Chains A and B, each alone.
Chain A
């Protein structure tokens, strides 16, 4: 079957295996078919040698968390994330991957009102103990949240879908910090409801592209023309920075160059922030994969937190994924749990009071295992408030 992969990209891999220890699914299974090298081998077998797409092949692709931890480890710079997204796209188009019910599940993400209703429903259901724990949804999906207010147009703050519905207090903290540094903030709210990251992971390419196009249109209106877009969710930021590649237009490239992770943005404006009272608790940094492996701006988180946290500690697991992976923790609960166990072990080894992570998926997934997560911006906001 033609997976519609670029032959050159596919041939970049020399099968050296240096990616293996950086792959969370290989780490917990030791199974070559659950490694980046194995998955690329299978892509080649299917595309170049006409190997049948057996259930085992599909399983190999479906178990990938798409954390892209293999990419920085790859000396040959294989664009693994793109290969996997394209593979899933082709298999989804063929009806082999991403079944209909899962696609339907993605629908509300682009529709804030629908998501808000769903969230209220979920919130009630949770309080009635109707939601299985293994879904990894954080203990407290809020029933109702205070709205975010516009304070200026120096920066656009992307609020997104799930995060806005479930973790608006993080946005609130981010906005507080930006304002403390003297920036007037416009939360994007319903203007740009969803970045399309989850759709891209599931191989739903058309939905992904149309979400990207409408977001660009909304956030590139004349009065926003060159305004930086600050994102406090690592997954969303990574997706928005990839629009240039996704759409292949100069306009998309220009849009992507306006996108910053919130720590990445603030790292250049630290002098403008009041120091407040440093956080006394021990804080461990848990890098979301899309911040570390994809955006590769995880050092900025440290640069910012160092100023406000006295006892900042690193985990000793080379930034291995926590297993959240967007909807992965729901689709592959067993593997996601094993991967999380490994992460929890690495966290426990440092005995932190709090774990700073800037991705809603990671926070919920870890939170469900009892890890006290906090967004870096919540820490900074707390410190500034003194």
Chain B
């Protein structure tokens, strides 16, 4: 059995143990729901089978989630009340944004209270002097950038799901996106956050001042996948829009040539705004979908974007073209206007979707390798997929070595999931062997828990566990995630023992 299959099985096994306490559980639920409903409006606490079934999953392939009551708070005070009530009833909580996570980070384990943050979606204030926007966590990433654009600013992280994912989700996953190569990921773009901690206390982490006192708890909180508390208000940094931008599309006869061009560009001292590669299969699929003018006969295409001031980007674009040609580029094209650029990016950002038309299911992986290893690891990825009789397509943030191999399949084919998971495991291993890491932007969630031991020693993970415990000593927030089984907060059965009584 593959590691991932065993994760799913493990979740099921752990949940299966609940049988004996179901009745008592139901009684406890009634009291819990009663308390939650008196704290929020009754119609914003759902305990019906529909609500629970809908919130048992996210956009990942992982099953086995069981949701408890689902709450839709509209204020910090309500989130605080939910946290306290859940605490009082010995119940864990799981925060949830748009539910687009691919690593199972929002899947509720052990029937916790699900806190859906989608109703807290106001852009509260744009503070130009301090270069921040205060937003509620349910604000959609792209909505924020659209709101800021007329003011001359944008929010830099732009994950491919930016039209739907929320700022709260970006904070939880330290989201990236094509343009984080030059501008950095979410952690570099959040100044301060109001959070509700697992014990129900409310505080600000970080601050608008240059170097807030104490430990960088803001930085630690970002990317913690909902395990350290819940964000209720975020001061995100706003970035000035660049006056000029150039987008180049380079075609190659081999994926290696494209990868070598990427290394060459960085080695030449250029850090473009984005460097994205797509292989032949996915380029054709994308072109069929958007008709952006991507070449159908290239083995790989490189989308390179430089932004800044007119003169400088002209120099950089020229050098990128030279480096590309020196590395065997068969064609170099520059988007002639915003419309063409938008179309090229639409193709890149909907790539996963375009593939979904070719097969009913796909598994999107996310690992990072050193840039110089891109070509070698890609060869291995193709080999691995071949060996497991799967179709793989590669589209990736080449600039920072972030691979996104897509395995295509039909889940109704018998035994296919085992092959998919086995291939996935080998891809992760190949990335680690090349000196890479488990995840560039999707997070660990439940997906990569089983691989943590391949990147970190027991001592390393023990210290990660300590960090978590400093925020959440009793494992109330999103238990069962990130840190692998065997460590305290990974064991959701532990929750059955604390604190007292409520389980009857």
Contact = CB atoms under 8 A, between A and B. Distances in A.
Contacts of B354: 75
A253 B90 CA distance: 61
Given A30-B116, A31-B118, A52-B49, A14 B163 contact: no
Nearest to B165: A17
Contacts of B361: 14
Interface in B427-479: none
Given A30-B121, A42-B54, A75-B357, A16 B49 contact: no
Contact of B116 (A8, A20, A32, A77): A32
A33 interface: yes
A143 B471 CA distance: 70
A56 B72 contact: no
Contacts of A14: 59, 356, 360-362
Contacts of B138: 30
**Size range of the interface on A?**
20 to 34
B98 interface: yes
Interface string A35-58: 001100110010000011010110
A270 to B, nearest CB: 22
Contacts of A32: 54-55, 99, 116, 118
A75 B116 contact: no
A78 to B, nearest CB: 9
A48 to B, nearest CB: 11
Interface in B95-129: 98-100, 116, 118-119, 121
A15 B57 contact: yes
Tell me which of B46, B50, B350, B412 has the highest count of chain A C-beta atoms within 10 A of its own C-beta: B50
B51 interface: yes
Contacts of B350: 75
Nearest to B48: A56
Interface string A1-20: 00000001001101111101
Contacts, number: 93
A38 B50 CA distance: 9
A24 to B, nearest CB: 14
A74 B140 CA distance: 18
Interface string A66-110: 000000011111000000000000000000000000000000000
Given A17-B59, A17-B98, A51 B72 contact: no
A316 interface: yes
A244 interface: no
Interface string B35-77: 0000000000010111101110101000000000000100000
B118 A30 contact: yes
Contacts of A38: 54
Nearest to A32: B54
A140 B118 CA distance: 39
A16 B362 CA distance: 11
Contact of A20 (B55, B146, B164, B356): B164
Contact of A76 (B146, B356, B411): B356
B352 interface: yes
B493 interface: no
A33 B54 CA distance: 7
Nearest to B350: A75
B50 A18 contact: no
B50 A31 contact: no
A358 B418 CA distance: 52
Contact of B48 (A21, A37, A54, A74): A54
A29 B51 CA distance: 14
Contacts of B293: none
B353 A42 contact: no
A37 B353 CA distance: 15
A16 B121 CA distance: 20
A256 interface: no
A15 B116 contact: no
Contacts of A21: 140, 142-143, 163-164
A11 B50 contact: no
A60 interface: yes
A8 B360 CA distance: 9
A52 B53 CA distance: 12
Contacts of B59: 14-17
A18 B360 contact: no
Contacts of A17: 59, 98-100, 161, 164
Contacts of A18: 100, 161, 163-164, 353
A75 B119 CA distance: 26
A74 to B, nearest CB: 8
Contacts of B163: 18, 21, 73
A31 B116 CA distance: 8
Tell me which of B55, B98, B354, B360 has the highest count of chain A C-beta atoms within 10 A of its own C-beta: B98
Interface in B140-163: 140, 142-143, 146, 161, 163
Contacts of B57: 15, 41
Nearest to A45: B53
Interface of A: 8, 11-12, 14-18, 20-21, 29-33, 37-38, 41-42, 45, 51-52, 54, 56-57, 60, 73-77, 316
27 contacts: A8-B360, A11-B360, A14-B59, A15-B59, A16-B353, A17-B59, A18-B164, A20-B164, A21-B163, A30-B119, A30-B121, A32-B55, A32-B99, A38-B54, A42-B50, A45-B53, A52-B49, A54-B49, A56-B49, A56-B50, A74-B353, A75-B352, A75-B354, A76-B353, A76-B356, A76-B360, A77-B356
